[in-house]
Structure 1
Amino acid sequence: MPVRPTHLGHALASEWTKIKSVRSTMWTLGVLVVLVVGIGFATAAGLSSGDTDLDGESPLTFGFFGVLLGILCVITLGVLVISSEYGTGMIRTTLTACPSRARVLTAKAIVFFLVAFTVTLACTGLVALMMDSMLSGNPGVAEPTGEDWFKATVGISLYVAMLGLVALSVGALIRHSAGAITIMIGVVLLPLVLAVFMQSESLADLQEGLLNYSVPNQLGVLYSNSVTDSGPSGWEPLGIITAVTAAALVAAYSALDRRDV
Protein backbone atom coordinates (compact mmCIF):
# COMPACT_ATOMS: atom_id res chain seq x y z
CA MET A 1 0.00 0.00 0.00
CA PRO A 2 1.29 3.48 -0.81
CA VAL A 3 2.34 5.55 2.18
CA ARG A 4 1.31 9.19 2.12
CA PRO A 5 2.22 11.86 4.66
CA THR A 6 -0.77 12.96 6.70
CA HIS A 7 -1.88 16.58 6.86
CA LEU A 8 -4.62 18.79 8.29
CA GLY A 9 -7.04 17.75 5.55
CA HIS A 10 -7.08 14.19 6.87
CA ALA A 11 -7.81 15.43 10.39
CA LEU A 12 -10.61 17.66 9.07
CA ALA A 13 -12.18 14.72 7.22
CA SER A 14 -11.99 12.64 10.38
CA GLU A 15 -13.60 15.31 12.56
CA TRP A 16 -16.33 15.96 9.99
CA THR A 17 -17.15 12.25 9.97
CA LYS A 18 -17.36 12.27 13.76
CA ILE A 19 -19.50 15.37 14.16
CA LYS A 20 -22.04 14.30 11.54
CA SER A 21 -22.24 10.73 12.85
CA VAL A 22 -23.05 11.27 16.53
CA ARG A 23 -26.60 11.83 17.77
CA SER A 24 -25.65 14.73 20.02
CA THR A 25 -24.99 16.90 16.95
CA MET A 26 -28.47 16.37 15.52
CA TRP A 27 -30.14 16.85 18.90
CA THR A 28 -28.32 20.03 19.86
CA LEU A 29 -28.56 21.64 16.44
CA GLY A 30 -32.17 20.53 16.08
CA VAL A 31 -33.08 22.16 19.39
CA LEU A 32 -31.11 25.25 18.31
CA VAL A 33 -33.23 25.59 15.18
CA VAL A 34 -36.48 25.05 17.12
CA LEU A 35 -35.57 27.63 19.76
CA VAL A 36 -34.24 30.37 17.48
CA VAL A 37 -36.83 30.03 14.72
CA GLY A 38 -39.73 29.03 16.98
CA ILE A 39 -39.27 31.80 19.53
CA GLY A 40 -38.58 34.27 16.73
CA PHE A 41 -41.84 33.39 15.00
CA ALA A 42 -43.80 33.46 18.27
CA THR A 43 -42.38 36.87 19.15
CA ALA A 44 -43.14 38.29 15.71
CA ALA A 45 -46.66 36.85 15.75
CA GLY A 46 -47.34 38.23 19.22
CA LEU A 47 -46.14 41.73 18.37
CA SER A 48 -47.82 41.91 14.98
CA SER A 49 -51.24 40.71 16.13
CA GLY A 50 -51.66 43.51 18.64
CA ASP A 51 -50.39 46.38 16.46
CA THR A 52 -47.79 47.11 19.10
CA ASP A 53 -46.02 50.46 18.81
CA LEU A 54 -42.34 49.58 18.41
CA ASP A 55 -41.30 53.11 19.36
CA GLY A 56 -38.54 53.42 16.77
CA GLU A 57 -37.13 49.90 17.27
CA SER A 58 -35.85 47.90 14.34
CA PRO A 59 -37.88 44.68 13.88
CA LEU A 60 -34.64 42.70 13.70
CA THR A 61 -33.86 43.36 17.38
CA PHE A 62 -36.55 40.94 18.54
CA GLY A 63 -34.56 37.96 17.26
CA PHE A 64 -32.50 38.39 20.44
CA PHE A 65 -34.75 36.19 22.61
CA GLY A 66 -34.43 33.02 20.56
CA VAL A 67 -30.69 33.42 20.05
CA LEU A 68 -30.09 33.89 23.79
CA LEU A 69 -31.59 30.46 24.49
CA GLY A 70 -30.07 28.92 21.37
CA ILE A 71 -26.60 29.75 22.68
CA LEU A 72 -27.03 27.03 25.30
CA CYS A 73 -27.28 24.44 22.51
CA VAL A 74 -24.14 25.71 20.78
CA ILE A 75 -22.02 25.69 23.94
CA THR A 76 -23.29 22.21 24.78
CA LEU A 77 -22.22 20.90 21.37
CA GLY A 78 -18.91 22.72 21.64
CA VAL A 79 -18.11 20.96 24.90
CA LEU A 80 -19.25 17.55 23.63
CA VAL A 81 -17.10 17.78 20.49
CA ILE A 82 -14.04 17.02 22.62
CA SER A 83 -15.19 16.01 26.12
CA SER A 84 -17.27 13.09 24.84
CA GLU A 85 -14.08 11.49 23.50
CA TYR A 86 -12.50 11.74 26.93
CA GLY A 87 -15.63 10.21 28.47
CA THR A 88 -15.61 7.20 26.15
CA GLY A 89 -11.83 6.83 25.93
CA MET A 90 -11.89 7.38 22.16
CA ILE A 91 -9.44 10.25 22.57
CA ARG A 92 -6.70 7.62 22.83
CA THR A 93 -7.65 6.25 19.43
CA THR A 94 -7.82 9.74 17.97
CA LEU A 95 -4.37 10.70 19.23
CA THR A 96 -2.92 7.36 18.14
CA ALA A 97 -4.19 7.92 14.61
CA CYS A 98 -3.04 11.55 14.68
CA PRO A 99 -0.21 12.05 17.19
CA SER A 100 -0.10 15.79 16.49
CA ARG A 101 -2.38 17.06 19.24
CA ALA A 102 -2.36 20.61 17.89
CA ARG A 103 -3.63 19.29 14.55
CA VAL A 104 -6.44 17.39 16.25
CA LEU A 105 -7.62 20.42 18.19
CA THR A 106 -7.30 22.67 15.14
CA ALA A 107 -9.41 20.27 13.07
CA LYS A 108 -12.06 20.06 15.78
CA ALA A 109 -12.16 23.85 16.11
CA ILE A 110 -12.46 24.46 12.36
CA VAL A 111 -15.16 21.85 11.76
CA PHE A 112 -17.20 22.89 14.80
CA PHE A 113 -16.92 26.60 14.00
CA LEU A 114 -18.10 26.12 10.41
CA VAL A 115 -21.02 23.92 11.47
CA ALA A 116 -22.12 26.25 14.27
CA PHE A 117 -21.75 29.37 12.13
CA THR A 118 -23.63 27.91 9.15
CA VAL A 119 -26.59 26.63 11.18
CA THR A 120 -26.83 29.80 13.26
CA LEU A 121 -26.62 31.99 10.15
CA ALA A 122 -29.45 30.05 8.50
CA CYS A 123 -31.61 30.45 11.63
CA THR A 124 -30.89 34.13 12.22
CA GLY A 125 -31.36 34.93 8.53
CA LEU A 126 -34.78 33.25 8.50
CA VAL A 127 -35.81 34.96 11.73
CA ALA A 128 -34.68 38.35 10.42
CA LEU A 129 -36.77 37.89 7.28
CA MET A 130 -39.80 36.86 9.37
CA MET A 131 -39.41 39.81 11.73
CA ASP A 132 -39.08 42.30 8.91
CA SER A 133 -42.07 41.00 6.95
CA MET A 134 -44.40 40.49 9.93
CA LEU A 135 -43.61 43.69 11.83
CA SER A 136 -43.15 46.12 8.94
CA GLY A 137 -46.76 47.31 9.32
CA ASN A 138 -46.52 48.08 13.03
CA PRO A 139 -46.66 51.73 14.12
CA GLY A 140 -43.30 53.20 15.08
CA VAL A 141 -41.22 50.51 13.37
CA ALA A 142 -37.80 51.64 12.16
CA GLU A 143 -36.53 50.57 8.76
CA PRO A 144 -33.45 48.37 9.33
CA THR A 145 -30.28 49.49 7.60
CA GLY A 146 -27.85 47.26 5.75
CA GLU A 147 -25.58 47.27 8.79
CA ASP A 148 -28.51 46.21 10.99
CA TRP A 149 -29.12 43.24 8.70
CA PHE A 150 -25.44 42.28 8.65
CA LYS A 151 -25.07 42.49 12.43
CA ALA A 152 -28.33 40.60 13.12
CA THR A 153 -27.28 37.72 10.86
CA VAL A 154 -23.55 37.40 10.16
CA GLY A 155 -22.42 39.32 13.26
CA ILE A 156 -24.61 37.34 15.64
CA SER A 157 -23.65 34.04 14.00
CA LEU A 158 -19.93 34.82 14.33
CA TYR A 159 -20.40 35.72 17.99
CA VAL A 160 -22.33 32.54 18.77
CA ALA A 161 -19.87 30.32 16.88
CA MET A 162 -16.89 31.84 18.69
CA LEU A 163 -18.64 31.43 22.04
CA GLY A 164 -18.98 27.78 21.06
CA LEU A 165 -15.21 27.67 20.46
CA VAL A 166 -14.72 28.96 24.00
CA ALA A 167 -16.90 26.07 25.17
CA LEU A 168 -14.80 23.62 23.13
CA SER A 169 -11.65 25.01 24.77
CA VAL A 170 -13.17 24.66 28.24
CA GLY A 171 -14.10 21.07 27.36
CA ALA A 172 -10.47 20.41 26.44
CA LEU A 173 -9.31 21.93 29.73
CA ILE A 174 -11.88 20.27 32.02
CA ARG A 175 -12.24 16.98 30.07
CA HIS A 176 -15.62 16.42 31.72
CA SER A 177 -18.87 17.14 29.87
CA ALA A 178 -21.13 18.08 32.78
CA GLY A 179 -18.49 20.22 34.46
CA ALA A 180 -17.56 22.12 31.30
CA ILE A 181 -21.19 22.73 30.31
CA THR A 182 -21.95 24.02 33.82
CA ILE A 183 -18.99 26.41 33.66
CA MET A 184 -20.12 27.75 30.29
CA ILE A 185 -23.71 28.27 31.46
CA GLY A 186 -22.26 30.21 34.37
CA VAL A 187 -20.14 32.31 32.00
CA VAL A 188 -23.21 33.14 29.91
CA LEU A 189 -25.78 33.81 32.63
CA LEU A 190 -24.07 34.40 35.98
CA PRO A 191 -22.70 37.95 35.38
CA LEU A 192 -26.16 39.24 34.49
CA VAL A 193 -27.82 37.43 37.40
CA LEU A 194 -25.25 38.76 39.88
CA ALA A 195 -25.63 42.29 38.55
CA VAL A 196 -29.39 42.19 39.05
CA PHE A 197 -28.95 41.52 42.77
CA MET A 198 -26.18 44.09 43.33
CA GLN A 199 -28.25 47.00 44.62
CA SER A 200 -25.67 48.48 47.00
CA GLU A 201 -24.15 51.81 45.99
CA SER A 202 -20.68 50.53 46.89
CA LEU A 203 -21.06 47.83 44.22
CA ALA A 204 -22.37 50.17 41.51
CA ASP A 205 -19.18 50.08 39.43
CA LEU A 206 -18.95 46.30 39.62
CA GLN A 207 -22.63 45.98 38.75
CA GLU A 208 -22.19 48.23 35.72
CA GLY A 209 -19.18 46.24 34.54
CA LEU A 210 -21.00 42.92 34.86
CA LEU A 211 -23.98 44.29 32.97
CA ASN A 212 -21.89 45.86 30.22
CA TYR A 213 -19.78 42.80 29.49
CA SER A 214 -22.31 40.04 30.09
CA VAL A 215 -23.06 37.85 27.09
CA PRO A 216 -26.77 38.86 26.90
CA ASN A 217 -25.85 42.56 26.80
CA GLN A 218 -23.20 42.02 24.12
CA LEU A 219 -25.77 40.15 22.04
CA GLY A 220 -28.08 43.10 22.58
CA VAL A 221 -25.38 45.46 21.30
CA LEU A 222 -25.13 43.47 18.07
CA TYR A 223 -28.93 43.70 17.83
CA SER A 224 -28.63 47.47 18.46
CA ASN A 225 -30.61 47.06 21.67
CA SER A 226 -28.14 47.28 24.57
CA VAL A 227 -29.54 47.23 28.11
CA THR A 228 -26.99 49.85 29.23
CA ASP A 229 -25.87 53.22 27.92
CA SER A 230 -22.18 52.54 28.51
CA GLY A 231 -19.91 49.63 27.69
CA PRO A 232 -19.34 47.99 24.29
CA SER A 233 -21.00 49.44 21.21
CA GLY A 234 -21.13 48.77 17.49
CA TRP A 235 -18.92 45.82 16.56
CA GLU A 236 -16.93 45.81 19.81
CA PRO A 237 -18.58 42.61 21.17
CA LEU A 238 -17.03 40.67 18.26
CA GLY A 239 -13.60 42.01 19.15
CA ILE A 240 -14.09 41.03 22.79
CA ILE A 241 -15.27 37.50 22.05
CA THR A 242 -12.43 37.06 19.52
CA ALA A 243 -9.86 37.94 22.18
CA VAL A 244 -11.51 35.64 24.73
CA THR A 245 -11.68 32.81 22.18
CA ALA A 246 -8.00 33.22 21.28
CA ALA A 247 -6.97 33.11 24.95
CA ALA A 248 -9.13 30.04 25.62
CA LEU A 249 -7.73 28.20 22.60
CA VAL A 250 -4.15 28.97 23.60
CA ALA A 251 -4.85 27.52 27.05
CA ALA A 252 -6.49 24.44 25.47
CA TYR A 253 -3.53 23.87 23.10
CA SER A 254 -1.09 24.15 26.00
CA ALA A 255 -3.07 21.75 28.23
CA LEU A 256 -3.64 19.19 25.49
CA ASP A 257 0.06 19.18 24.60
CA ARG A 258 1.32 18.79 28.16
CA ARG A 259 -1.17 16.44 29.79
CA ASP A 260 -1.56 12.70 29.42
CA VAL A 261 -4.83 11.38 28.07
Structure 2
Amino acid sequence: MTTPATTVPAITAAITPARVLRSEWHKLWTVRSTWITVLASVAFLLGVGILMGATYTPDGGDSDVDTVILTLYGSQLGGICLAVLGILVTAGEYSTGMIRASLTAVPRRTPVLRAKAAVFTAVVFTVSFVTALITFLVAQIFLSDTDQAASLADDGVLGAIAGNAAGVTLLSVLALGLGAALRSVPGGIGAFIGGVMILPEVLGMLPYDAVDTAIRYFPTQAAGALGSATPLPNAASPGAALLALCLWAAAALIAPALLLKRRDV
Protein backbone atom coordinates (compact mmCIF):
# COMPACT_ATOMS: atom_id res chain seq x y z
CA MET A 1 0.00 0.00 0.00
CA THR A 2 1.32 3.44 -0.96
CA THR A 3 1.87 5.75 1.97
CA PRO A 4 1.05 9.50 1.89
CA ALA A 5 4.75 10.27 2.20
CA THR A 6 5.43 8.62 -1.15
CA THR A 7 2.21 9.70 -2.84
CA VAL A 8 2.72 13.44 -2.43
CA PRO A 9 6.21 13.52 -4.02
CA ALA A 10 4.90 11.36 -6.88
CA ILE A 11 2.05 13.79 -7.55
CA THR A 12 4.38 16.77 -7.30
CA ALA A 13 6.82 15.18 -9.73
CA ALA A 14 4.00 14.70 -12.23
CA ILE A 15 3.29 18.44 -12.23
CA THR A 16 5.50 19.86 -14.97
CA PRO A 17 5.60 23.44 -16.33
CA ALA A 18 4.31 22.17 -19.69
CA ARG A 19 1.28 20.55 -18.05
CA VAL A 20 0.49 23.65 -16.03
CA LEU A 21 0.76 25.78 -19.18
CA ARG A 22 -1.52 23.40 -21.08
CA SER A 23 -4.04 23.51 -18.26
CA GLU A 24 -4.08 27.31 -18.24
CA TRP A 25 -4.39 27.37 -22.04
CA HIS A 26 -7.49 25.20 -21.91
CA LYS A 27 -8.98 27.20 -19.06
CA LEU A 28 -8.47 30.45 -20.96
CA TRP A 29 -10.21 29.31 -24.13
CA THR A 30 -13.08 27.39 -22.53
CA VAL A 31 -14.45 30.53 -20.86
CA ARG A 32 -16.96 32.56 -22.84
CA SER A 33 -15.59 35.88 -21.57
CA THR A 34 -12.30 35.20 -23.40
CA TRP A 35 -13.99 35.04 -26.77
CA ILE A 36 -16.18 38.06 -26.05
CA THR A 37 -13.34 40.33 -24.90
CA VAL A 38 -10.90 39.22 -27.61
CA LEU A 39 -13.45 39.68 -30.40
CA ALA A 40 -14.49 43.05 -28.94
CA SER A 41 -10.85 44.15 -28.88
CA VAL A 42 -10.34 43.10 -32.50
CA ALA A 43 -13.57 44.82 -33.56
CA PHE A 44 -12.67 48.10 -31.83
CA LEU A 45 -9.16 48.24 -33.26
CA LEU A 46 -10.13 47.26 -36.79
CA GLY A 47 -13.36 49.29 -36.86
CA VAL A 48 -11.84 52.53 -35.56
CA GLY A 49 -8.83 52.12 -37.86
CA ILE A 50 -11.01 51.73 -40.93
CA LEU A 51 -13.16 54.66 -39.81
CA MET A 52 -10.11 56.89 -39.36
CA GLY A 53 -8.77 55.94 -42.77
CA ALA A 54 -12.09 56.30 -44.59
CA THR A 55 -12.94 59.70 -43.09
CA TYR A 56 -9.46 61.26 -43.13
CA THR A 57 -8.99 64.62 -44.85
CA PRO A 58 -5.74 66.65 -44.83
CA ASP A 59 -7.56 69.71 -43.51
CA GLY A 60 -9.31 67.83 -40.72
CA GLY A 61 -6.71 68.57 -38.07
CA ASP A 62 -5.00 65.17 -38.02
CA SER A 63 -2.36 65.82 -40.65
CA ASP A 64 0.35 66.20 -37.99
CA VAL A 65 -0.54 62.93 -36.21
CA ASP A 66 1.83 60.01 -36.68
CA THR A 67 0.32 57.66 -39.27
CA VAL A 68 0.60 54.58 -37.04
CA ILE A 69 -1.08 56.36 -34.15
CA LEU A 70 -3.80 57.61 -36.51
CA THR A 71 -4.64 54.16 -37.85
CA LEU A 72 -4.42 52.44 -34.46
CA TYR A 73 -6.52 54.84 -32.41
CA GLY A 74 -8.82 51.93 -31.62
CA SER A 75 -6.12 50.23 -29.57
CA GLN A 76 -7.16 52.39 -26.61
CA LEU A 77 -10.62 50.82 -26.57
CA GLY A 78 -9.34 47.39 -27.56
CA GLY A 79 -6.72 47.56 -24.84
CA ILE A 80 -9.38 48.16 -22.19
CA CYS A 81 -11.17 44.99 -23.33
CA LEU A 82 -7.95 42.97 -23.01
CA ALA A 83 -7.19 44.52 -19.63
CA VAL A 84 -10.62 43.41 -18.41
CA LEU A 85 -9.83 39.93 -19.72
CA GLY A 86 -6.60 39.94 -17.73
CA ILE A 87 -8.53 40.74 -14.56
CA LEU A 88 -11.09 38.03 -15.32
CA VAL A 89 -8.33 35.46 -15.87
CA THR A 90 -7.13 35.84 -12.28
CA ALA A 91 -9.82 37.48 -10.16
CA GLY A 92 -12.52 35.56 -12.00
CA GLU A 93 -11.20 32.29 -10.59
CA TYR A 94 -11.54 33.62 -7.07
CA SER A 95 -15.12 34.72 -7.66
CA THR A 96 -16.12 31.28 -9.02
CA GLY A 97 -14.05 29.27 -6.55
CA MET A 98 -12.10 27.60 -9.37
CA ILE A 99 -8.86 28.81 -7.78
CA ARG A 100 -9.19 26.14 -5.07
CA ALA A 101 -9.05 23.38 -7.67
CA SER A 102 -6.14 25.05 -9.45
CA LEU A 103 -4.04 25.41 -6.31
CA THR A 104 -4.95 21.92 -5.10
CA ALA A 105 -3.65 20.51 -8.38
CA VAL A 106 -0.50 22.68 -8.17
CA PRO A 107 0.34 22.97 -4.45
CA ARG A 108 3.34 25.25 -4.97
CA ARG A 109 0.89 27.96 -6.12
CA THR A 110 3.21 30.37 -7.91
CA PRO A 111 3.57 28.13 -11.01
CA VAL A 112 -0.16 28.69 -11.58
CA LEU A 113 0.30 32.47 -11.64
CA ARG A 114 3.37 32.20 -13.87
CA ALA A 115 1.53 29.93 -16.30
CA LYS A 116 -1.48 32.25 -16.41
CA ALA A 117 0.77 35.22 -17.13
CA ALA A 118 2.75 33.36 -19.81
CA VAL A 119 -0.28 32.04 -21.67
CA PHE A 120 -2.10 35.35 -21.40
CA THR A 121 0.92 37.35 -22.60
CA ALA A 122 1.43 35.12 -25.65
CA VAL A 123 -2.24 35.26 -26.61
CA VAL A 124 -2.67 39.01 -26.13
CA PHE A 125 0.52 39.95 -27.97
CA THR A 126 -0.33 37.68 -30.91
CA VAL A 127 -3.90 38.97 -31.18
CA SER A 128 -2.82 42.61 -30.76
CA PHE A 129 0.05 42.46 -33.25
CA VAL A 130 -1.85 40.60 -35.98
CA THR A 131 -4.91 42.85 -35.60
CA ALA A 132 -2.79 46.02 -35.59
CA LEU A 133 -0.93 44.87 -38.70
CA ILE A 134 -4.16 44.11 -40.57
CA THR A 135 -5.73 47.38 -39.39
CA PHE A 136 -2.77 49.42 -40.61
CA LEU A 137 -2.78 47.75 -44.03
CA VAL A 138 -6.53 48.12 -44.48
CA ALA A 139 -6.50 51.77 -43.34
CA GLN A 140 -3.72 52.51 -45.80
CA ILE A 141 -6.03 51.52 -48.65
CA PHE A 142 -8.01 54.68 -47.85
CA LEU A 143 -4.92 56.77 -47.06
CA SER A 144 -2.88 55.84 -50.13
CA ASP A 145 -3.50 59.18 -51.89
CA THR A 146 -3.10 61.39 -48.82
CA ASP A 147 -0.23 62.82 -46.81
CA GLN A 148 -0.71 59.93 -44.34
CA ALA A 149 0.24 57.29 -46.90
CA ALA A 150 2.84 54.86 -45.53
CA SER A 151 4.05 51.30 -45.91
CA LEU A 152 5.53 48.67 -43.64
CA ALA A 153 8.92 49.32 -45.26
CA ASP A 154 8.99 52.94 -44.05
CA ASP A 155 11.32 53.74 -41.16
CA GLY A 156 9.82 52.96 -37.79
CA VAL A 157 6.42 51.77 -39.02
CA LEU A 158 6.73 48.04 -38.33
CA GLY A 159 8.49 48.76 -35.05
CA ALA A 160 5.68 51.09 -34.00
CA ILE A 161 3.06 48.44 -34.81
CA ALA A 162 4.97 45.90 -32.73
CA GLY A 163 5.42 48.54 -30.02
CA ASN A 164 1.70 49.20 -29.98
CA ALA A 165 1.05 45.49 -29.47
CA ALA A 166 3.71 45.31 -26.75
CA GLY A 167 2.19 48.29 -24.94
CA VAL A 168 -1.30 46.81 -25.01
CA THR A 169 0.06 43.46 -23.85
CA LEU A 170 2.05 44.80 -20.91
CA LEU A 171 -0.86 46.96 -19.76
CA SER A 172 -3.06 43.86 -19.87
CA VAL A 173 -0.50 41.87 -17.88
CA LEU A 174 -0.48 44.68 -15.32
CA ALA A 175 -4.27 44.34 -15.11
CA LEU A 176 -3.90 40.58 -14.67
CA GLY A 177 -1.59 41.24 -11.73
CA LEU A 178 -4.06 43.65 -10.16
CA GLY A 179 -6.80 41.06 -10.46
CA ALA A 180 -4.60 38.43 -8.82
CA ALA A 181 -3.62 40.77 -5.97
CA LEU A 182 -7.09 42.13 -5.23
CA ARG A 183 -8.96 38.87 -5.98
CA SER A 184 -11.99 40.89 -7.03
CA VAL A 185 -13.19 41.60 -10.56
CA PRO A 186 -14.85 44.96 -9.69
CA GLY A 187 -11.87 45.89 -7.51
CA GLY A 188 -9.40 45.03 -10.25
CA ILE A 189 -11.29 46.98 -12.88
CA GLY A 190 -11.64 49.96 -10.55
CA ALA A 191 -7.95 49.89 -9.65
CA PHE A 192 -6.94 49.70 -13.32
CA ILE A 193 -9.20 52.51 -14.48
CA GLY A 194 -8.56 54.72 -11.46
CA GLY A 195 -4.91 54.02 -10.79
CA VAL A 196 -3.54 53.29 -14.25
CA MET A 197 -5.70 55.39 -16.56
CA ILE A 198 -7.08 58.33 -14.53
CA LEU A 199 -4.42 59.00 -11.88
CA PRO A 200 -1.71 60.11 -14.38
CA GLU A 201 -4.15 62.59 -15.93
CA VAL A 202 -4.90 64.05 -12.50
CA LEU A 203 -1.23 64.26 -11.56
CA GLY A 204 -0.51 65.92 -14.90
CA MET A 205 -2.48 68.95 -13.75
CA LEU A 206 0.09 69.67 -11.05
CA PRO A 207 2.44 72.53 -12.03
CA TYR A 208 5.69 70.70 -11.30
CA ASP A 209 8.31 69.71 -13.84
CA ALA A 210 9.36 66.70 -11.78
CA VAL A 211 5.81 65.36 -11.89
CA ASP A 212 5.64 65.83 -15.67
CA THR A 213 8.89 63.91 -16.07
CA ALA A 214 7.72 61.08 -13.82
CA ILE A 215 4.40 60.75 -15.62
CA ARG A 216 6.20 59.91 -18.86
CA TYR A 217 7.07 56.56 -17.32
CA PHE A 218 3.61 55.76 -15.99
CA PRO A 219 2.03 52.71 -17.71
CA THR A 220 -0.39 54.34 -20.16
CA GLN A 221 2.04 57.11 -21.13
CA ALA A 222 4.87 54.63 -21.62
CA ALA A 223 2.63 52.42 -23.76
CA GLY A 224 1.71 55.42 -25.92
CA ALA A 225 5.38 56.19 -26.58
CA LEU A 226 5.89 52.68 -27.98
CA GLY A 227 3.27 52.99 -30.72
CA SER A 228 4.65 55.92 -32.71
CA ALA A 229 6.84 55.67 -35.82
CA THR A 230 8.29 59.11 -35.04
CA PRO A 231 9.47 60.40 -31.64
CA LEU A 232 6.69 62.03 -29.65
CA PRO A 233 7.34 65.40 -27.97
CA ASN A 234 7.54 65.32 -24.16
CA ALA A 235 7.49 61.50 -24.16
CA ALA A 236 9.98 58.89 -23.03
CA SER A 237 12.17 57.23 -25.63
CA PRO A 238 10.84 53.85 -26.85
CA GLY A 239 13.59 51.95 -25.04
CA ALA A 240 13.02 53.71 -21.73
CA ALA A 241 9.25 53.41 -22.11
CA LEU A 242 9.48 49.67 -22.76
CA LEU A 243 11.73 49.17 -19.74
CA ALA A 244 9.39 51.18 -17.51
CA LEU A 245 6.36 49.26 -18.71
CA CYS A 246 8.10 45.91 -18.16
CA LEU A 247 8.95 46.97 -14.59
CA TRP A 248 5.35 48.00 -13.92
CA ALA A 249 4.08 44.65 -15.23
CA ALA A 250 6.70 42.73 -13.24
CA ALA A 251 5.80 44.58 -10.04
CA ALA A 252 2.12 43.83 -10.64
CA LEU A 253 2.93 40.11 -10.82
CA ILE A 254 5.40 39.98 -7.93
CA ALA A 255 2.86 41.38 -5.46
CA PRO A 256 0.24 38.61 -5.96
CA ALA A 257 3.00 35.97 -6.09
CA LEU A 258 4.07 36.99 -2.58
CA LEU A 259 0.48 37.12 -1.40
CA LEU A 260 -0.17 33.62 -2.77
CA LYS A 261 2.49 32.24 -0.45
CA ARG A 262 1.18 34.06 2.62
CA ARG A 263 -2.59 33.91 2.24
CA ASP A 264 -5.03 31.08 2.45
CA VAL A 265 -7.11 30.64 -0.68
The residue that corresponds to 1:238 in the other structure is 242
Per-residue deviation at 1:9? 0.8
For 1:222-233, what aligned pairs fall within 5 Å after superposition? Answer: 222-224=226-228, 229-233=233-237
Gaps of 5+ in 2: 1-9
TM-score, normalising length: structure 2: 0.85
Instruction: Give the corresponding residue for 2:3.
Output: none
Matched, 1:258 2:262: yes
TM-score (norm 1): 0.86
Residues 222-231 or 6-15, more deviating: 222-231
Shift of 1:250: 1.4
Q: Is 1:138 aligned with 2:146?
A: yes
Cross-structure match for 2:54? 45
Which stretch of the first structure deviates more once superposed, 182-191 or 36-45? 182-191
Cα pair 1:117 1:157 within 8 Å, conserved: yes
Structure 2 match to 1:19 = 28
Counting matched residue pairs gives 255
Give runs of ≥4 in structure 1 deviating > 6 Å.
225-228
Using the aligned pairs only, state the percent identity. Answer: 32
Within a 5 Å distance, the mapping from 1:60-209 to structure 2 comes to 60-139=68-147, 146-195=154-203, 198=205, 203-205=207-209, 208-209=212-213
Q: Residue 205 of structure 1 aligns to which amino acid in structure 2? A: D
Deviations, residues 15-36 of structure 1 (Å, cap 9, x unaligned): 1111100011011111101110
Which ranges of structure 1 fall in alignment gaps of 5 or more residues?
A: none
**Distance in 1 of aligned mates of 2:232 and 2:147:** 25
What is the root-mean-square deviation in Å for CA atoms of aligned residues? 2.7
> What secondary structure sits across from 1:235 in the alignment?
helix
CA shift for structure 1 position 209:
3.8
Deviates more, 1:144-153 or 1:248-257: 144-153
Q: Secondary structure at the match of 1:230?
A: coil
Partner Cα separation in structure 2 for residue 122 and residue 14 of structure 1: 25
What per-residue deviation string (whole Å, max 9, x for no partner) do you get for residues 151-196 of structure 1? 3322111221111111111111100001011111123321353156
Task: Say whether the 8 Å CA contact 1:58–1:142 is kept in structure 2.
Answer: no
